[in-house]
Every structure is written in structure tokens, then in C-alpha cells.
Structure 1
Amino acid sequence: MHESKDAIVIRDVVKSFRKRTIRGEYTTFKSELLRWLRGERQADEARLITALRGINLTIPKGKTMGILGRNGSGKSTLLKIITGIYAPTSGTMEINGRISALLDLGAGFHPDFSGRENILINGIILGMSRSEVRERMDEIIAFSELGDFIDEPVRTYSSGMYMRLAFAVATHVDPDILIIDEILAVGDEHFSKKSLAKMTEFKKQGKTIVLVTHDLGTVANWCDCAAWLDGGRIREVGEPAKVIRHYQQALRLAEAQGTPLMAPALSPGGGALPGLQDADASAPGASEENGASAGLPVELRSVELVAPKGPTGVVVDTEQGLEVRVDFATLRPLSDAGFAVDIRREDGTQVYGTNTFLESVSLPAPLPERGTMRFIIDRVGLSPGRYLLDVTARSSNGTAYSSGSQPSSFEVRSPIESEGLVRPPHRWIIESQAESQHSAVS
């Protein structure tokens, strides 16, 4: 028997919950029996909330899968089925490897036990022996940075301290598969960077990571593949940037139509987003090597970054400028077309985003069949680091007119050290107030 190359295989999984109604009176066996005989019980049982509606998903070993979707689309339910907290109503699940999960904040912690005691308990629950947990105890405590609080009851912990302890335990039990559900958003910037470094170490070790997050930048820049969950169904699986574009396009379309951003499980179709206007994101075999193959009306043929004193493939000083040149072609006349530029740090943090509609830029109507769009930044003004710049063509209501392009990378350097994301123009002035103070005293 050969070993499976897939860490998780989900086949036709459905999960339904029985809708409970809180009754205003006490019930007895007699009253419940009478309700059953009258058929009321059967009617209640027929009222189900279906959170997952036939999920098929395969996650290969050693890959990082980002799962995105609106609130109520079934993401957390899917993770709880993967981790065994819920059993599927129907369908099958195959898990190959030890799972460690970070789901609900503080789940599995006893509030009256100390952090140290909870490490021991959770380590054993996750499959380690008592001696193995004790061997790693100091390492776990050091990573959590809880200091003397480690011997205090966890009910005295803040939400950030809960997260630190939970993440430290989950990542030090040597799991094959790590499941994370939005919990990292609780941490401060320092611990978030530390957590991301730990997960990057996991990736290099060939571990499998499944991440649910609303931070699309993290999915785009850190995940190997993405799955879009919509109305309890898998809408699309594929390369992260492509899935994110389709997801954002559907969100903009829903907003334009006045569709609620919540995805109610009780609504027909599970509250799914409307279908995309220009291309079916989930169509089998759909190719998106460029706008033409995707059926979109604008093809971005090339995106070039040009430094003022250097070639493409730029390294710029924070005080220098940068020009973006985009050669494009249109496949049909477009009178309502514009361009959007998005700049993100390498870790996915958005630095700046704008478009021609926000800035009331006058473009030819319709756009020419062939043309060049130039976006000129007079002064970069960013702190040193590596950044990604993405360009897309779109309509005024957000409908995608191009499939976008591979984000272009550039590096910012500066001889002056600074902190944060940007370096705004500034100067220092120090004035003495001795004379004014002397006058006040006299």
C-alpha cells in the first residue's frame, strides 16, 4: 500500500444542524409525547440549517491552503469537521497525519487551571505523552512570552495572552497538519510576526497548513493555493491571486446589487454571491493566462516598473520616484473602464491602493484598442523592504475587466533607518523657550 500524497481528502460532505426553538414553558415527558403524537415534533425536526452543501476538497501534503469567504459561508464549520469536533451529516473525510488546531479562542483551556497545567493537559489531548510535554514545556513557555503569568489561572488572561498560549501549544506538539481559524488577528504586531515566522518554518519542514482568514493579502502572498467557500459550497479552488480576484469581483457585484454581506445558511442556495458577469470563475477548464483567454475585455500585455535612473527590476531609494507602465489591449469598445493600482508589503499588508475613478482621472472613452497606461509616483516614500505592485482594469462599479497580472516586485532601500510603513517628508525644528519662560517669571 502506497502512502497518500494528500493530507486531507473531503468527499461530498454535508453538514446540517437542527434548528432549536427556545420554548417559553417547561416541558414534561407527557407534553413532549403529546407534541410528538400531534406531529409537532416531526415538524420541528424538519427545520434544519445546512451549513455545508456537498464539499469536495483535496489538500496535498506540504501545501498551505487559504480558505476565504464571507461570514456565514461555512468556513469555521468546515474546519471543525476536519478536526473532528463535528461529524459530517453525510460524506466522507480522509485525514493523513496528526492534526493540531487553533479554532475558538481558548478552546480546550480550563479557566481555573494555570497556563502551565493547561499546556500539559492540551499536549496530552493532542497526542503527546506526559514526558514529551514536560520536555518541551520550557520551549512552549518561552515562545508564549507569558512570563510569570504562566502559573496564574488562565481566566485572568487577556484575549492576546490566550492566543499566545494556544499558538505556542499547537505549534510545539509536532503536528503534520496545522489548522488555523482567524485566531492570529487577536495578537499584537510583534507576536503576529513571530507566529508568521513559525508557520514559515512549518512550510519549510513540509507541514500542511489550512488557514481561514479575511486578510486576503496573507492568502495571496503566503498560501500555495486558495479555496473560495460560498453559501456552503466550494465556488473555486486554485492559484490564490486568481481566486481572490474572482471573490472580490463577486463581492463588488453583490454590493452594487444590494446583496447583504452576510451569507445566511437558511436562505435559498445558502446565501451565495451572484455569478460573475464577465467570466464564470468556477467553469471547468477556464484559462486565465491573460484577459482574452478568460473572456474579459481588457488584456494587460505587460507591466513594467521603471526607476528614474535604472532599468526594470528596480531597487529604489525611499526618496526616489517610480513609474509603472502597462501595455494593454481591448477586445471590445469600453466606455466605462479604468485602472486600479495596489501596493502591498511582502507579508501581505496593504500599503496603498487607488484607481482612476477615485481620483477622477479622465480616460479616453472608449479605451483605445492598443494603449499604454503610465502611473507615475514622484516619491516612493516607503520604508526599506520588498513590495508587490498589482494592476487591474475594472469598471466604475468594480466589475473586473482584466484578470490582472502577476504582481511586480520592487525593493526600497534607504541609508536612514526608520520604523513603520512610510517615510513622509518631514524636518525637525528645536526652539528654546528660555526667553519666554524668563519673561513670564519676571
Structure 2
Amino acid sequence: MDAIVLRDVVKSFRKSTIRGEYTTFKSELVRWLRGQRRQQQPDTVIEALRGINLTIPRGKTVGIIGRNGSGKSTLLKLITGIYSPTSGSVEINGRISALLDLGAGFHPDFSGRENILINGVILGLSRAEIRERMDEIIAFSELGDFIDEPVRTYSSGMYMRLAFAVATHVDPEILIIDEILAVGDEHFSRKSLQKMTDFQKSGKTIVLVTHDLGTLERWCDLAAWIDGGRIREVGPPAELVRHYKQAVLLAEARGSALLAPALAGDGGALPELASPPHVAAVSAQAQLRLGEVRLLTREGVSATEVDTEDALELQLEFSTQSEVQQGGFGWSLQRADGSLVYETSTLVDAVPLPQPLPAQGMVRLRLERLGLMPGQYKVAVSALAADGTPYESRPEACTFNVRSSLTDQGITRVPHRWELLTHEATVSSPPEKAVSA
């Protein structure tokens, strides 16, 4: 059974606008005695979420990304029950605990200890269960004597520590976090991350909204990208982050206004990429088309398994449907898990291609030394317009394995040379092979 299931969820808010004007108590009293009403514009409806379908598997850590105003926090508040959907259904299977707005659920005039008791009851624990865990919660929050002071005297960091301690010590099956970990100091951040790691190992479900794309890639098993109140994509974190960055760069290159999509309607959404995930896509106005793509060894045979020190050649055939001025070609190298190793293009490298491009031809990219550590890799290729917009892209044009007898670690083997300096002589290791750009 999945932990969270959202089906066709829509959430709308009604916005009332009263015409702004300066007024006084006397003028308002006269207006009231005369029975006059202030002019009010018709209400407008803002759709913060527009038909969300999302399934979060039990025991997985799922990250949600998107720009400000795209509907991330609204989605979390629907999951936690703070909001009710305008239409659609939200199914939750398990006890849920949330860290949303800083200090949400705390009464400012009650002490930290009293707020622990109140929040524990709200989250479904008995008074006896809360008292059993009270000392552990206080110790984790590191508030000391402040635990018996009103929380209105707390700093934002103290608020966060208390909120995190309560949320993670009530034994939830589902933990919801909205960017709150960014508030803590370095010590408590490490402590919180360790607690989150323990949650993951124990099979808890975690839903995390974050703007830190590095955290998303390191921590999450699955990622969801929300934009304009809709789920744009769900998939492996590394791949989704790459698509998100491409869309932002494409919007900036086109000069698109990056408005808050929940307020700007569909016009504020990021542009669609030419290639959806895992699918070779062709633009409807593709003037430059890809043909056969080959990855060959130095001997000219298909490269399915190669050594770290081997050379490779990528051959990319193409054809033009009409005269193409300033077109180009791109390629990227990725690990099997989708993490990007390297990406460039003839446009980035300023390769002097004939303009216009010929009706048919082939581009060759030579790697004199591969330099990758053992593992599985895949090559993506694309045909590009002058502004970098893809005419056609193939996310998985070639795949190959890398083998090596060496035992060093990492993604790539950087050329290096060791030297030992003494008074008598210099002892050096054999030089690494040179790498040609």
C-alpha cells in the first residue's frame, strides 16, 4: 500500500479586491449612516493546484522542487490536512508529522515543555506516551533551561530545534518537511540530517520540499517537479534536476518573465523542453534531424565495453530539412543513475561549422582518453538551433561499460603525477597520458 495517493487534486482560493482609497473615521461613519457601500471588484479565483496526480510509495524519500509560487507548500498543506481540496481526493496511509511554517502549532505564551505536550496530543499520542518521550525530546532540542520559558522568547533557531525534535520523536510513519532544515546552525543541521538518515533506514516515508537541488540528488529516492500548479515530471532526482535546470536556462535565454505561476496563470510556467524524459523527441519545426549515432573504439568497432585509458569516437549523422543557419550539435555523458558527468556542444565550444549546414553530413567527436572509472554510462545527443533550443534529442543514444584494473575511486581518473623531493634526488611516478581537448 502506498503512503500517499493524490488523485485529480484541485485547490482554488478566492481573492477579494476592495478598491484602495484614503479614508478617515468621519468619512467612514458618514458613508455608513447614508447606507453607502464601498466599491468592491468581482472576486477572482486563483487555482494554486490544477489536477495533481501523485503517488508516494511507502518507505521512500520523495523530494518536491519548483519555483516560488508553483504550489509546493499548498500541496504539503493538503497532504497534512491543513487545507481541504476543492476537488479530487487525498489518501494518507499512516501517522503523519509535519514541519511546515516555522513555529506553526506553538502557542507563544506557553513554555516549550507545554507546547511539546500540546503538539504530541494533536499528533495522536496519549499523555503517558508524551511524558515517556519528554526527556528525549528536550535533550535532542538542546534548549536547556529555556524549555520552561515562553516560546515567544525563542530565537528562530530555537523554534526550529523544538519543532524538529517534536516532529521526529512522535514516531510518525510519514514525515513532511518544508525547507525548515535551512534554519539551523551547522551542528544542529548535521544532527538533523543524521536523524533523517535513521528515518530512512527504518523505512519511514519522507516528503521534502527544497530549493537545494544538491540535497534533492543526495537524499531522495524519487523527485517530483511542480510548476504552475501541475506536476511537470516525476522521476530519478538527478535526471529531473537536469531537466529543471534546462527549462530555467531556456526561459532565461528566451527572455521569458519568470513570474509566480500560481498568480500568473499558464503564462508564468516554464517552457516545455523539446524532449520528455526517456523519449527521443523531435520538434514539430525540426529543420535539423539526427541520423545514425555510433560510438566506436580506436579500432573502429562498436564500443560496448572499454577500458579507462581507451580512446572513443562518437559519430553523429545528420540531415537538414531546409537551410539551417548557425545550427549545432550537443552531447552529454551520464552515469547509469542519471548523474551528469560532462556536457558540451559545438555552440559552447565555438566549433567552426559551415554555414549554412550541408543537406547531409556527419560530425565526429574524438576522446583521446576516456578517463572514466568503472561502471555503466550512457551518451545523449541533440541537434540544436543557434540559441541552444533542441530540434531533436536522444537521451540514450548509446550505452557502454567501463572496466579498469585500477582501484582508485571516483567518477573520472584525473591525470596526475606523484613526486618525492629529497636533498639527493627527486623520485617521480611515471607521467600520466596527456589528455587532448
Q: Could you tell me the TM-score, scaled by structure 2's length?
A: 0.68
* RMSD, aligned α-carbons: 4.8
Matches within 5 A, 1:6-405: 6-21=3-18, 24-25=22-23, 35=37, 43-44=41-42, 46-269=43-266, 271-276=268-273, 278-279=274-275, 281=276, 288=278, 329=316, 335-337=327-329, 369=362, 371=364, 374=367, 399=389
Please identify which structure carries the higher strand content.
Answer: 2
On the 8 A contact 1:300/1:402 being kept in 2, the answer is no
Seen in structure 2, the aligned counterparts of structure 1 residues 130 and 299 have a Cα distance that, compared at 3 Å, is farther
Higher alpha-carbon deviation: 11-20 or 116-125: 11-20
Identical counterparts, % of pairs? 54
Which amino acid in 2 is paired with 1:119?
Answer: I
Which amino acid in 1 is paired with 2:142?
Answer: E
State the secondary structure of the residue aligned to 1:267: helix
Which amino acid in 1 is paired with 2:110?
Answer: F
Cα deviation for residue 254 of structure 1 reads 0.7
Find runs of 4+ consecutive structure 1 residues off by over 3 angstroms: 19-36, 289-292, 295-302, 311-314, 322-343, 352-366, 368-378, 388-406, 408-414
Seen in structure 2, the aligned counterparts of structure 1 residues 402 and 184 have a Cα distance that, compared at 3 Å, is farther
Cα deviation for residue 117 of structure 1 reads 2.3
Which amino acid in 2 is paired with 1:218?
Answer: T
Q: How far does the alpha carbon of each residue in 1:57-108 deviate from its partner, in whole angstroms, 9 at most, with x for none? A: 2222222221111111011111111112122222222222111111111111
List alignment gaps of at least 5 residues for structure 2: 298-304, 321-325, 411-437
- Aligned pairs, number: 380
Which amino acid in 1 is paired with 2:73?
Answer: S
- Give the whole-Å Cα distance in 2 for the aligned partners of 1:15 and 1:54: 11
- Give the whole-Å Cα distance in 2 for the aligned partners of 1:404 and 1:236: 16
Cα deviation for residue 137 of structure 1 reads 1.4
List alignment gaps of at least 5 residues for structure 1: 282-286, 305-310, 315-321, 379-387, 415-442
On the 8 A contact 2:107/2:115 being kept in 1, the answer is yes
Which amino acid in 1 is paired with 2:171?
Answer: D
Q: How far does the alpha carbon of each residue in 1:209-232 deviate from its partner, in whole angstroms, 9 at most, with x for none? A: 111111122222322222111111
State the secondary structure of the residue aligned to 1:13: strand
- Give the whole-Å Cα distance in 1 for the aligned partners of 2:158 and 2:173: 25
- Give the whole-Å Cα distance in 1 for the aligned partners of 2:177 and 2:100: 6
Seen in structure 2, the aligned counterparts of structure 1 residues 79 and 147 have a Cα distance that, compared at 3 Å, is same
- Give the whole-Å Cα distance in 2 for the aligned partners of 1:398 and 1:214: 25
- Give the whole-Å Cα distance in 1 for the aligned partners of 2:196 and 2:215: 12
Seen in structure 2, the aligned counterparts of structure 1 residues 235 and 336 have a Cα distance that, compared at 3 Å, is same
- Give the whole-Å Cα distance in 1 for the aligned partners of 2:47 and 2:68: 15
- Give the whole-Å Cα distance in 1 for the aligned partners of 2:76 and 2:331: 37
Cα deviation for residue 273 of structure 1 reads 1.1
On the 8 A contact 2:312/2:370 being kept in 1, the answer is no
Q: Could you tell me the TM-score, scaled by structure 1's length?
A: 0.67
Q: How far does the alpha carbon of each residue in 1:212-253 deviate from its partner, in whole angstroms, 9 at most, with x for none? A: 111122222322222111111111222222322222221111
Cα deviation for residue 8 of structure 1 reads 3.1
Q: How far does the alpha carbon of each residue in 1:34-77 deviate from its partner, in whole angstroms, 9 at most, with x for none? A: 549xxx55x43x32222112222222222222111111101111
